[in-house]
Amino acid sequence: MAKFLIVGADVHKEYVMTKWSIDQGEASKKSFRMTEAGQNKMIATFHKTAKKFKAGKIVFAYEACCMGFGLYDRLTDASIKCHVLAPTKIERSSKQQRTKNDEKDAQHILEILKGHLLAGNALPDIWIPDHETRQDRAIVRHRFSLSEQLSSVKTQIRMVLKKSSVKKPKGVGKNWTKAYRKWLLDICDPEAGVLQYGDILVLESLLRQLKFLEDELELQEQNIEALSRHSRYKEACDRLLRIKGVGLLTAMVFLTEMGDMSRFSNRRQIAAFFGLAPTSNETGENCDRKGHITKQGSALVRKVLSQAAWCISRNDPFFDRVVKKNPKKKKIALVGVMRRTAIKMWHIALDVQKETGCFVVYSGEST
C-alpha cells in the first residue's frame, strides 16, 4: 500500500498547475482552473487518484502568495493535508531562476515535499493563522494601505502645482494646514486665473480623494481602537502601551502580525522573523563576516518598529553607547533598538498569553 499521494502546485489567480506522484514514483502533471468548480474538480481528482493507487494520505503544497489562504482552507476541509511554503526559504539555483516556469515551479515544490515526507528533510512551511486573526490583520493592514494612498494623492497634488509653476504664497503657512487647503480650493476657481481648466479639474478630483481618504483613515483608526479592546488583545495591548515609543498602531500591528507568541522560543527567532538579523558570509578562514539585515518577514512591522525606535532612542543609554562607538552609523544603533523593542514586546505578549489563556486561540503549522 502506498503511503502518500504527493502534490506540488504553482498557484495563480486564474489557474493552478500541479505535479503529483505516488511516493517516489514518476511525476505527472495536471492543471485546474482556480474557480470554485475548478477547485472542486481538483479535489475530486486527487481523492479518486489516491483511491486508485491506495494511497494512505494526500499531501499538497504550494508557495504563499497574494491569493491568501482560501485554497488552504478548501483543501483542509476536504481532508487533504496542505502546506503553504515560504518563498524566501525555498532554495533555488541560478539556473532555476533563469528558466522559471509554472511546471518547473510545481516540480520543484513536489521535490521539496517528497524530501520532507520520504527523507525527513525540513519543510519551509509557514504558520497558518486562524480565520479571526486573518480578519484582524485585514483591518490593521487596510489602515496602512489607506495611509499609502493618502501620501500618493498628496504627492499628485504637489506635482500638479509644480507642473503649473504655482508657488505657495508666504502667508499660507505649512502644507496641509487649513489655510493651505483653503488656498488649494481658491486656486481651483477659474476666475483666480492661476490654473488652466484641465489642471483645475484634476486638482478638484484630487482634493475630493484627499477628503475621502482622510475620513476613511479616521474611521479605520476607530475600528483598530475598538479591536484593541477585544478580549484577545486588551491586556497585551495595555501592557505594550507602557513601553516608551509604542503607540496603539504599533501594538496592534505587532500583535496581529505575530499571532501565537508561543511558536517562538527565543529572541534570535524573533529577530530572524522580523528580518532584523544580520546576513552572514562565512567561508574557510574568513569567519564572522556580517552584512546588512536580512529584511525578511513583515515590512509593516519593521516600519512601525522603526518609528518606535526613533522615539525610544532619545536619551536611550543603549543607543548612545552604540553611536559613540561609530557616530557615522546611527542606523546600526537604530536597528539594535528595533530588535530590543521587538524582543521586549514579544516577552510581554507571551506572558499575557500564558497568564490569561485567552490572548489567542490558534491552530497552525510551524513558523
Is residue 364 within 8 Å of 127, Cβ to Cβ? yes
* Whole-number pLDDT of residue 39: 96
User: Grid coordinates standing for 185?
Assistant: 480650493
- Specify the pLDDT at position 95: 77
Contacts of 156 (CB under 8 A, 6+ apart): 206
Strands (E) located in the chain: 4-11, 15-22, 28-33, 57-63, 81-85, 278-280, 290-293
Q: Rounded distance, CA 290 to CA 78, Å?
A: 46
Does domain 4-119 sit in CATH 3.40.50.970? no
| Closest alpha carbon to 185 in 167, 165, 205 | 205
Q: Mean pLDDT by 10-residue block, N- to C-terminus, for the chain (367 residues)?
A: 89 94 94 95 96 94 89 95 91 78 93 94 92 94 96 96 92 91 94 92 96 97 95 93 95 94 91 87 66 85 94 90 87 93 95 76 39
In this prediction, residue 66 carries a pLDDT of: 80
Domain boundaries, the chain: 4-119, 132-228, 234-356
pLDDT the model gives residue 361: 41
Give the per-residue pLDDT at 314.
87
For residue 296, what pLDDT is reported? 83
Burial of 326 (0-12, 13-18, 19+ CB in 10 A): exposed
- Model-level pTM? 0.86
Integer-rounded Cα radius of gyration of the chain: 26
Q: Which position has the grid cell 498569553?
A: 353
Contacts of 26 (CB under 8 A, 6+ apart): none
Place of cell 487596510: 142
Query: Cβ neighbours of residue 175 under 8 Å, at least 6 residues apart?
Result: 168
